[in-house]
């Protein structure tokens, strides 16, 4: 029996991987322009980091973590998200001691044991941004604008930016009481998960996908109804700044994110038509998280987007530009001596930066020329026993179908000149 890849994972083959590279390039470019620096943290962390950071009552921690004991009996978890790790790194490396704010971004695989379906994987990839050490609404506006700007540069269509404020622990406590009062008479009709959420984290009931729960929570008090003055002002300023930056957004009082660390701003970007999993980005402010993982009180805000879902949205909006791996020259060598001479030429041309290939299978002239055609090479340079003896090589222009003989010693200079001219044109 052939071994198969684990459920919910993907092999990214040539042809698809170029789309990923394109998106990754756009991500790096926009991060440079906005002044965000890359951080790389480990793929696994102490389980406690996510228990404390993401929260004990979340689905991620309760149901979805890849947790294992290592050989030293320590409980480790494959990271289900990046924010907790970035905060841990901020504390552990004392980044709070340097200039603030610290503006970071990351890309890489995340792991959640979820039921795989279209757009939902067990190993998926995120691009995320975190800003630590700044609490003003302008920071929230900057990160949301970055997402908006990236998606518009990519040409994504049908975007919806939803923003909400989930308040701070003070106003949330008041909201919790009001929400529990509202839900009390409906409690026994809620789904099993929501019955549990009722005591610990009733806010999450607003986010339940169960149709009965959705109906039962119609008209429930939202966090916007109980925002304290500080949170209300923050949310108002954020909206003014988003409008100033011409971000098209909508206030969604029912937007409750599935992670416990959010305070004040929460947001999501949705795209119509990519299927059940329409959230291509989610984020928010987490002013208590750095302290939660053992650091000084530090405000933070960020987002993460699912690369797979952004690519699905990109496909629907016309797709990433096609990038193909293309040889400029194919060296067609016939016979052993020609092959070793050809290999030496190819090695020298590669050092000069020319995209060039040589046959690796010892194929016939016809087969090698066919391969050159397939890679859409501009030229084929044909070297056989006879050409070697005469000190020449045949250079065939594969676009025009013309060929000429040139001295073997002149080949490299000649081809490099043509290449430079073509690249410039
Ligand atoms: P999240 O909403 O759990 O937030 O994930 C962010 C994005 O990752 C989602 O909007 C979605 O595009 C993608 N995603 C999540 N789970 C899957 C999956 N199983 N398969 C495919 N894509 C998925 C966070 O992870 C927070 N750390 C975001 C954040 C950063 N908040 C503040 N800073």
- Condensed to tens digits (0 to 9), the pLDDT of residues 139-154 reads 999 999 999 999 999 9
Across 114-118, 196-200, 220-224, least confident range:
196-200
**Contact assessment for residue 377 and residue 355, using Cβ atoms and an 8 Å cutoff:** no
Whole-Å CA distances, 101 to 31, 123, 357: 15, 31, 48
pLDDT for res 163: 98
> Does position 398 have pLDDT exceeding 90, yes or no?
yes
- Report the pLDDT value the prediction gives residue 207, as an integer from 0 to 100: 85
**How far does residue 50's CA lie from ligand 1's centre (Å)?**
14
Ligand 1 atom 22: the closest Cα is on which residue? 306
Q: Roughly what angle, to the nearest 10 degrees, separates helices 411-424 and 336-351?
A: 40
User: Residue 129 pLDDT > 80, yes or no?
Assistant: yes
- What's the Rg (C-alpha) of the chain? 28
Q: What is the pLDDT of residue 97?
A: 97
Mean pLDDT of the 381-401 span = 96
Strands (E), 133-247: 159-165
- Neighbouring-strand partners of residue 125: 109
- Name the least confident of 2-6, 56-60, 289-293: 56-60
CA distance 289 to 300: 8
> What pLDDT shows up at residue 323?
73
pLDDT at 325: 72
What are the residues whose beta carbons fall under 8 Å from the beta carbon of 9, sequence distance 6 or more? 121, 122, 123
- Residue 4 Cα to ligand 1 middle (Å): 26
Interior angle at CA 311, CA 308 and CA 315, nearest 5: 140
pTM for the full model?
0.92
- Model confidence at 275: pLDDT above 90: no
Confidence bin at 261 (pLDDT 50/70/90) = very high
Atom of ligand 1 nearest to the CA of 286: 32
pLDDT greater than 90 at residue 336: yes
Per-residue model confidence (pLDDT) at position 154: 96
* pLDDT tier for residue 200 given thresholds of 50, 70 and 90: confident
* Ligand 1 atom at minimal distance to the Cα of residue 302: 33
Reported as a pLDDT band with limits 50, 70 and 90, residue 319 is confident
Q: Is 109 in the pocket of ligand 1 (CB under 6 A)?
A: no
Is the pLDDT at 345 greater than 90? The verdict is: yes
User: Which atom from ligand 1 is nearest to the alpha carbon of 309?
Assistant: 12
Encoded tokens for 270: 């949705």
304 alpha carbon – ligand 1 mean position (Å): 5
How far, in Å, from the CA of 147 to the mean position of ligand 1?
14
Instruction: With both helix axes pointing from N to C terminus, report the angle between 17-34 and 137-154 in degrees, rounded to the nearest 10.
Output: 140
Cα of 278 vs centre of ligand 1, distance in Å, is 11
Q: Relative to the CA of 114, which ligand 1 atom is closest?
A: 19
| The 265-271 sheet, strands edge to edge | 37-38, 102-111, 123-132, 300-306, 279-285, 265-271, 159-165, 249-251
Cα of 116 vs its chain's centroid, Å: 18
Ligand 1 within 6 A of CB of 135: no
pLDDT of 80 higher than 80: yes
């Amino acid at each position: 029996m052939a071994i198969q890849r684990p459920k919910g994972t993907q092999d990214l083959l040539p042809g698809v991987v170029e789309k990923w590279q394109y998106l990754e390039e756009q991500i790096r470019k926009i991060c440079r322009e906005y002044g965000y620096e890359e951080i790389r943290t480990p793929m696994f962390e102490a389980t406690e980091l996510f228990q404390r950071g993401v929260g004990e009552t979340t689905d991620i921690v309760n149901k979805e973590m890849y947790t294992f004991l290592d050989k030293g009996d320590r409980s480790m978890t494959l990271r289900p998200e990046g924010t907790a790790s970035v905060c841990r790194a901020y504390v552990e490396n004392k980044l709070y001691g340097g200039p603030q704010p610290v503006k970071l971004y990351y890309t890489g695989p995340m792991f959640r044991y979820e039921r795989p379906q279209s757009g939902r994987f067990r190993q998926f990839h995120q691009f995320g941004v975190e800003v630590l050490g700044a609490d003003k609404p302008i920071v929230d506006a900057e990160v949301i604008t970055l997402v908006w700007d990236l998606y518009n540069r990519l040409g994504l269509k049908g975007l919806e930016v939803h923003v909400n404020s989930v308040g701070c622990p003070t106003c949330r406590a008041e909201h919790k009481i009001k929400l529990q009062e509202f839900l009390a008479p409906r409690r026994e009709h809620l789904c099993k998960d929501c019955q549990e959420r009722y005591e610990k984290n009733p806010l999450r009931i607003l986010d339940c996908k169960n149709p009965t729960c959705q109906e039962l929570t119609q008209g429930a008090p939202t966090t916007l109804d109980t925002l304290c003055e500080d949170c209300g002002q923050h949310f108002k300023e954020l909206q003014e700044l988003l409008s100033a930056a011409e971000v098209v957004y909508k206030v969604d009082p029912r937007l409750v994110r599935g992670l416990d660390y959010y305070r004040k701003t929460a947001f999501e970007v949705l795209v119509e038509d990519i299927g059940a999993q329409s959230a291509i980005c989610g984020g928010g402010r987490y002013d208590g998280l750095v302290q939660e993982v053992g650091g000084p009180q530090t405000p933070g805000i960020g987002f993460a987007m699912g690369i797979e879902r952004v690519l699905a949205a990109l496909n629907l909006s016309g797709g990433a530009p096609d990038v193909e791996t293309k040889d400029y020259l194919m060296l067609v060598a016939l016979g052993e001596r020609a092959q070793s001479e050809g290999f030496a030429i190819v090695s020298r041309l590669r050092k000069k930066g020319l995209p060039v290939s040589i046959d690796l299978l010892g194929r016939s002239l016809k087969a090698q020329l066919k391969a050159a055609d397939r890679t859409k090479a501009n030229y084929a340079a044909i070297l056989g026993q006879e050409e070697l003896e005469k000190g020449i090589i045949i250079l065939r222009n594969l676009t025009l179908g013309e060929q000429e003989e040139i001295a073997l010693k002149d080949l490299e200079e000649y081809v490099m000149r043509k290449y430079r001219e073509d690249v410039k044109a």
